[in-house]
């Protein structure tokens, strides 16, 4: 049995000092062996101290060294083999294909960051050379680059046991940036957390990095997480989860003597607008795509389409009928844990009880007598009712969605205008239809992080161009993505060097540009050495 | 008389509805004509509504259009002529050269942003093209760019009546980004605020922009500023001023139903380390440079060197003597207003009363019988005393500084290690001395935004490579500069377009790259059109 139930603190696996527990199989409700442990406050302090000690050493590693480390992390995760896949399946109820897909995703992500940081683009190098003859005052030589913020705390999400967990996007971005990472693992998949942490620990040791570069701590309730966020050495927090959880951390971090940024991705209802021509041309296919998107993984995605918006008419009636038929074929699904299942059932009951809300379709009823199974549900409501009742905009985490039926395009714009900040906004349309909807596009651009045309929002690509985030309450800070290579910007800050001796500058800033980075030199983007750039500009 | 005492709201100059006041000449304490007015809450709401209405229109302008507008702003400021210079001198007590220098600085800044946004670099364009054949799932086409955040509130600082005021760095950055700006003018130079706002209003009208793109509101106390920060349409705040003022806005903004970022630059003590060889080689010159830096503008700079650190010895004794001699020749100086003069005198008295702190030199005594004159002061304290008394790290805004005398290099490192976050850190040293101080450099890199070698921190260059900001409490967010072209990053956020029809994409994201922007296309930095880039990569 490879799972030990221990914490990873300063490179050592230590039994937690604050009690024991077991993981639960959501498909059966039964406990899974072996016994696991919770970290104590003193153990949190020890882990933070180790991260603080590691921070300047790790910050001094080259991008090439960190790239090698990230690649090694991916190799070590793959080396866990089927034991990891099976443990994740046991702890989450997810099918093998989904779990293998997530593993592929985190390994791709680690490798993508490895290649991305080698380019040096994220350093945003800017060089303004001295102008000693300038009047009335000379200009000194000034050189700008990003550097790591310091130790980062990462909170994994329940719904992505690999992709938004121990070695997920937040961890990969922080490690790529040069920041030590302290992970507070999620209790919904603690054994999976430990296995992945073992892989990262192996990589830290194989690459000869300081032990404090990576730690894993488990805790019940919020105490361990709070201790991590208020520790003075911690400089940023990454979180994926609920609005309540994210806002609790945000307030805690802002009330520290030294406030620190919290990047909380808190989900949203991800509106999907179906325009009439699209419904007319391919209503049945869109209904099937919509139901597939909203029931994928029991709807346990932050980009699950929780609200659809369309204009009343015969094409919408056919769409609704097709959607109801597709939904009826959807089996009851197992949720990640009892809390999520309870919250889903409560949320659905609340939706059903709101005046003017009617059931437009249901998945298969729950027949299992054990485990955390729930039934998919589709609701329908008139736009006037939706506009008058802000509760209908609240996310119900799981496989349910509300179709908002509008009288006309003006009312559709009103509905979109009433929405809060969102991770995504989607329009199903023909191209001429989209061309005529500049107001709709403008409204969605002001509210979302990702604008999707004729796709569904589920499926968040890990790439350079991904923006996974959005205006509040989708995230605490709309200016940052939590997926893709741009997410590294959360964990760096600029510093500039004035009149610094050339030989002692970091390589990235030296005249000769030994790393061949794209730099902004006296206002011109170039990979040329500084002398050349200045000469050719004059 | 060109100054009317009115507010600029939605392109109209309106008498404030919340009372009248007059500016004060700090050199005499006398009131300056004419009568001015304060905005009412209803007027704030009207200005915010106008900014909200302007936001989508202004966001849709091209970079070339905004560049033309910024250049026009600079021309209109210059067209104010000597009336502006004289009013600023009257309201601040600053000499003509300083005021003309500030005017040159803001015009340079507006023009620098104009040329910077034309390059499109700040948009951070990223394109990942579709991979329809990818297994197990196809990759959709995803394109990423930055877009403006929305209306920005700017609080001017007392000490830079032009450079950190109505058309200062925050305003220039927000307008460059495509965000409407609402300025809360500073009551220390209200007539200057109005004149510059007239220039910007002329530019808005000449360029045919929506009236809500720029507003000016004046108010006494904190009420008008608070109203602006809590207005739901406002999406970010720029502030330069005191720690107390910045933190009040930070808390207000974080407690909104939708929290928004506050970029508060709150000053610091800007430690200057003098290493022994440098003192030995050029102690007298360094002492003169240090005194000149600390007394410049009566020390009313956020980068004023408030703490110096050196090792005891004969070279430090000579340095102290030279500094005292230079300081004795410094005339009493007029502070910007009575509050600043009072706070300075109180701060200096508190410093003088701390156990172990002694006076090491003084400027000329105050002889004027009117106006807000104060005397420059230099203090000395042993490192052990400094380390034991956190009050000695607090900024006293004005021409005073504390020299911390260390027993040896280890104690010097301890002193630097004890410092909070700073805008700048400076080392005076020989090159071999710096090469041997990697620990000192590492400590300062973890604490400052700008690391200065053998210069003094005063003088913040407006350029691409400037980082003016730093770890808390120097600023609320260490990841952003408030000076230089990188400061635009505060007022933009990314959005990505998935599977968006080519013809309807913003120009910046179109395959053909009509604006010739440097873009990241499938992982490669290029200005080539997308077809070319993909073809050459395959």
Residue pLDDT, tens place only, A112-160: 999 999 999 999 999 999 999 998 889 999 999 999 999 999 999 999 9
**Which of A126, A479, A498 has its CB closest to that of B486?**
A126
Do B258 and A471 lie within an 8 Å CB cutoff? yes
The C-alpha atoms of residue B99 and residue A74 are separated, in whole angstroms, by 58
Contacts of A492 in chain B (CB under 8 A): 479
User: Over 80: is that where the pLDDT of B534 sits?
Assistant: no
Which residues have C-beta within 8 Å of that of residue B294, sequence separation ≥ 6? Answer: B304, B305, B306, B376, B378, B399, B400, B401
- Could you say which residues from 85 to 104 on chain A have a Cβ atom under 8 Å away from some Cβ of chain B? 97, 101
Residue of A107, A302, A406, A429 marked catalytic:
A302
- Could you say which residues from 227 to 266 on chain A have a Cβ atom under 8 Å away from some Cβ of chain B? 250-251, 254, 258-259, 261
Q: Which of A69, A51, A340 is nearest to A217 (CA)?
A: A51
Confidence of residue B136 (pLDDT cuts 50, 70, 90): confident
Q: Which of A113, A479, A484 to mutate to test the interface with B (most CBs of B within 10 A)?
A: A479
A7-32 pLDDT, tens per residue?
999 999 999 999 999 999 999 999 99
Which residues have C-beta within 8 Å of that of residue A191, sequence separation ≥ 6? Answer: A3, A23, A32, A36, A87, A90, A91
Contacts of B486 in chain A (CB under 8 A): 124, 126, 144, 494
B159-173 pLDDT, tens per residue?
999 999 999 999 999
The C-alpha atoms of residue B437 and residue B76 are separated, in whole angstroms, by 49
Q: Report the relative pairing of strands A448-453 and A422-428 from DSSP bridges.
A: parallel
Render B148-205 in DSSP notation, one character per residue: E-S-EEEEPPSS-TTTTSTTSHHHHHHHHHT--EEEE--TTSHHHHHHHHHHHHHHHH
Q: For residue B486, what pLDDT is reported?
A: 98
Do B142 and A501 lie within an 8 Å CB cutoff? no
- Could you say which residues from 21 to 50 on chain B have a Cβ atom under 8 Å away from some Cβ of chain A? none
Which residues have C-beta within 8 Å of that of residue B70, sequence separation ≥ 6? Answer: B110, B111, B113, B114, B172, B175, B176
Contacts of B149 in chain A (CB under 8 A): 478-479
The C-alpha atoms of residue A464 and residue A483 are separated, in whole angstroms, by 9
B430-448 pLDDT, tens per residue?
999 999 999 999 999 999 9
- Could you say which residues from 467 to 526 on chain A have a Cβ atom under 8 Å away from some Cβ of chain B? 467, 469, 471-473, 476-481, 484, 486, 489, 492-501, 503-504, 518, 520, 523, 525
User: Residue A526: beta bridge partners?
Assistant: A519
Q: By the 8 A CB rule, do B395 and B269 touch?
A: yes
Residues of B belonging to the active site: 265, 302
Q: Which of B125, B136, B254, B465 to mutate to test the interface with A (most CBs of A within 10 A)?
A: B465
Q: If DSSP codes are grouped into helix, strand and coil, which group holds residue A471? A: coil
User: Over 70: is that where the pLDDT of B536 sits?
Assistant: no
Q: By the 8 A CB rule, do A138 and A127 touch?
A: no
Residue indicated by tokens 């102290």: B320
Confidence of residue B243 (pLDDT cuts 50, 70, 90): very high
Q: If DSSP codes are grouped into helix, strand and coil, which group holds residue B451? A: strand
Q: Which of A188, A203, A194 is nearest to A4 (CA)?
A: A194
**Residue A375 is encoded by which pair of tokens?**
């039934």
Interface check B390 vs A, CB under 8 A:
no
Contacts of B116 in chain A (CB under 8 A): 523
Q: What percent of chain A has pLDDT over 90?
A: 96
User: Residue B428: beta bridge partners?
Assistant: B274
Distance (Å) from the alpha carbon of B36 to chain A's nearest alpha carbon: 35
**Among A298-312, A348-362, A519-533, where is mean pLDDT lowest?**
A519-533
Q: If DSSP codes are grouped into helix, strand and coil, which group holds residue B419? A: coil
Q: Which of B99, B248, B467, B506 to mutate to test the interface with A (most CBs of A within 10 A)?
A: B467
**Count of alpha carbons within 13 angstroms of residue B208, beta-carbon side:** 2
Task: Classify B270 in phi/psi space as left (phi over 0), alpha (psi -120 to 50) or beta.
Answer: left
The C-alpha atoms of residue B86 and residue B191 are separated, in whole angstroms, by 11
Contacts of A67 in chain B (CB under 8 A): none
* Burial of B523 per CB tally in 10 Å (0-12, 13-18, 19+): middle
The C-alpha atoms of residue A346 and residue A336 are separated, in whole angstroms, by 16
ipTM above 0.90, yes or no: yes
Q: What percent of chain B has pLDDT over 70?
A: 99
Distance (Å) from the alpha carbon of A306 to chain B's nearest alpha carbon: 19
Confidence of residue B537 (pLDDT cuts 50, 70, 90): very low
Minimal Cα distance from B256: which residue of A? A472
Render A6-64 in DSSP notation, one character per residue: EEEETTEEEE-SS-EEEEEETTTTEEEEEEEE---HHHHHHHHHHHHHHHHHHHTS-HH
B521-531 pLDDT, tens per residue?
999 999 999 98
Q: For residue A135, what pLDDT is reported?
A: 87
pLDDT, mean of residues A430-449: 97
Q: Which of B392, B312, B399, B304 is nearest to B352 (CA)?
A: B392
The C-alpha atoms of residue B331 and residue B371 are separated, in whole angstroms, by 14
Confidence of residue A533 (pLDDT cuts 50, 70, 90): low
User: Over 60: is that where the pLDDT of B533 sits?
Assistant: no
Q: If DSSP codes are grouped into helix, strand and coil, which group holds residue A154? A: strand
Which comes out higher in pLDDT, residue A90 or B533? A90
Do B140 and A465 lie within an 8 Å CB cutoff? no
Contacts of A435 in chain B (CB under 8 A): 503-504
Q: For residue A538, what pLDDT is reported?
A: 44
Cis check: omega of the bond before B473, within 30 degrees of 0? yes
Other C-beta atoms lying within 10 Å of the C-beta of residue B447: 23
The C-alpha atoms of residue B102 and residue B82 are separated, in whole angstroms, by 13
Do B121 and A449 lie within an 8 Å CB cutoff? no
Contacts of B466 in chain A (CB under 8 A): 128, 142, 144, 496
User: Over 70: is that where the pLDDT of A199 sits?
Assistant: yes
Distance (Å) from the alpha carbon of A367 to chain B's nearest alpha carbon: 32
pLDDT, mean of residues A471-481: 97
Do B121 and A520 lie within an 8 Å CB cutoff? yes
Interface check B143 vs A, CB under 8 A:
yes
Other C-beta atoms lying within 10 Å of the C-beta of residue B436: 14
Residue of A52, A76, A265, A395 marked catalytic:
A265
**Consecutive H or E run containing B497:** strand B492-498
Do A500 and B451 lie within an 8 Å CB cutoff? yes
Q: What percent of chain B has pLDDT over 90?
A: 96
Do B477 and A261 lie within an 8 Å CB cutoff? yes
**Consecutive H or E run containing A266:** none
pLDDT, mean of residues A482-509: 98
Dihedral over Cα of B76, B80, B86, B87: its sign: negative
Distance (Å) from the alpha carbon of B100 to chain A's nearest alpha carbon: 11
Q: Which domains does chain A have, with CATH numbers?
A: 41-266+484-489 (3.40.605.10), 272-453 (3.40.309.10), 501-537 (no CATH)
CA distances from B175 to A73, A358, B225, B471, B515 (A): 44, 47, 20, 26, 20
Which residues have C-beta within 8 Å of that of residue B491, sequence separation ≥ 6? Answer: B148, B149, B152, B173, B174, B177, B179, B236
Distance (Å) from the alpha carbon of B489 to chain A's nearest alpha carbon: 9
Do B450 and A503 lie within an 8 Å CB cutoff? no
Do A451 and B495 lie within an 8 Å CB cutoff? yes
The C-alpha atoms of residue A129 and residue A139 are separated, in whole angstroms, by 8
Q: By the 8 A CB rule, do A261 and A236 touch?
A: yes
Do B142 and A461 lie within an 8 Å CB cutoff? yes
**Count of alpha carbons within 13 angstroms of residue A203, beta-carbon side:** 29
Q: For residue B135, what pLDDT is reported?
A: 87
Confidence of residue B538 (pLDDT cuts 50, 70, 90): very low
Contacts of A262 in chain B (CB under 8 A): none
SS (H, E, C) B101-113: HHHHHHHHHHHHH
Contacts of B144 in chain A (CB under 8 A): 464-467, 484, 486
Q: Which of A259, A444, A448, A467 to mutate to test the interface with B (most CBs of B within 10 A)?
A: A467
Distance (Å) from the alpha carbon of B502 to chain A's nearest alpha carbon: 10
Q: If DSSP codes are grouped into helix, strand and coil, which group holds residue B292? A: helix
Helix axes of B276-295 and B314-328: crossing angle, nearest 10 degrees: 20
Q: Which of A504, A509, A60 is nearest to B454 (CA)?
A: A504
Do B452 and A499 lie within an 8 Å CB cutoff? yes
Do A259 and B445 lie within an 8 Å CB cutoff? no
Q: For residue A306, what pLDDT is reported?
A: 96
Contacts of A261 in chain B (CB under 8 A): 477, 479
Angle subtended at Cα B119 by Cα B115 and Cα B122, rounded to the nearest 5 degrees: 100
Contacts of B115 in chain A (CB under 8 A): 523
Confidence of residue A532 (pLDDT cuts 50, 70, 90): low
**Count of alpha carbons within 13 angstroms of residue A9, beta-carbon side:** 21
Do A450 and B496 lie within an 8 Å CB cutoff? yes
């Amino acid at each position: 049995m490879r799972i030990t139930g221990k914490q990873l603190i300063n490179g050592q696996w230590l039994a937690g000092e604050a009690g024991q527990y077991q993981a639960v199989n959501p498909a059966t409700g039964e406990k899974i062996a072996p016994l696991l442990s919770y970290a104590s406050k003193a153990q949190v302090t020890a882990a933070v101290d180790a991260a603080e000690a590691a921070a300047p050493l790790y910050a001094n590693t080259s991008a090439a060294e960190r790239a090698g480390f990230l690649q090694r992390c991916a190799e070590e995760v793959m080396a866990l083999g089927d034991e990891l896949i099976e443990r994740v399946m046991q702890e989450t109820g997810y099918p093998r294909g989904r779990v293998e897909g997530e593993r592929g995703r985190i390994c791709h992500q680690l490798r993508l960051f490895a290649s991305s940081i080698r380019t040096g683009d994220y350093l945003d190098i800017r060089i303004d050379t001295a102008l000693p003859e300038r009047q009335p005052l000379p200009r000194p030589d000034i050189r700008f680059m990003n550097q790591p913020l310091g130790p980062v705390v990462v909170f994994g999400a329940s719904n992505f046991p690999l992709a938004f967990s121990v070695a997920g996007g937040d961890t990969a971005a922080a490690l790529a940036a040069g920041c030590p990472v302290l992970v507070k693992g999620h209790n919904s998949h603690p054994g999976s957390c430990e296995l992945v942490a073992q892989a990262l620990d192996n990589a830290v040791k194989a690459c000869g990095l300081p032990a404090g570069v990576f730690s894993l701590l488990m805790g019940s309730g919020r105490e361990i997480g709070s201790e991590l966020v208020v520790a003075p050495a911690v400089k940023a927090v990454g979180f994926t989860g609920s609005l309540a959880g994210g806002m609790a951390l945000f307030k805690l971090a802002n009330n520290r003597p030294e406030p620190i940024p919290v990047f909380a991705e808190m989900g949203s209802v991800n509106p999907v607008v179906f325009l009439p021509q699209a419904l007319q041309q391919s209503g049945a296919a869109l209904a099937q795509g919509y139901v597939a998107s909203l029931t994928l993984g029991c709807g346990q995605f932050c980009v699950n389409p929780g609200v659809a918006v369309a204009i009343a008419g015969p094409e919408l009636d056919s769409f609704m009928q097709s959607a109801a038929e597709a939904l009826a074929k959807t089996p009851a699904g197992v949720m990640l844990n009892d809390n999520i299942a309870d919250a889903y059932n409560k949320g659905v009951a609340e939706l059903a009880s709101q005046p003017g809300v009617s059931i437009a379709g249901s998945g298969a009823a729950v027949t299992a007598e054990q485990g955390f199974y729930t039934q998919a549900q589709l609701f329908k409501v008139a736009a006037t009712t939706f506009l008058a009742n802000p509760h209908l905009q609240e996310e119900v985490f799981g496989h349910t969605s509300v179709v908002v039926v509008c009288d006309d395009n003006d009312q559709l714009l009103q509905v979109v205008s009433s929405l809060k900040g969102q991770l995504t906004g989607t329009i199903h349309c023909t191209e001429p239809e989209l061309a005529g909807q500049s107001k709709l596009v403008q409204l969605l651009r002001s509210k979302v992080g990702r604008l999707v045309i004729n796709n569904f929002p589920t499926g968040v690509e890990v790439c350079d161009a991904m923006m996974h985030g959005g205006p509040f309450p989708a995230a605490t800070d709309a200016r940052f993505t939590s997926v893709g290579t741009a997410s590294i910007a959360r964990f760096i800050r600029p510093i500039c060097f004035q009149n610094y001796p050339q030989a002692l500058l970091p390589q990235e800033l030296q005249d000769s540009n030994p790393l061949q980075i794209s730099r902004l030199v006296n206002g011109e983007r170039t990979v040329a050495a500084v002398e050349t750039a200045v000469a050719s500009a004059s």
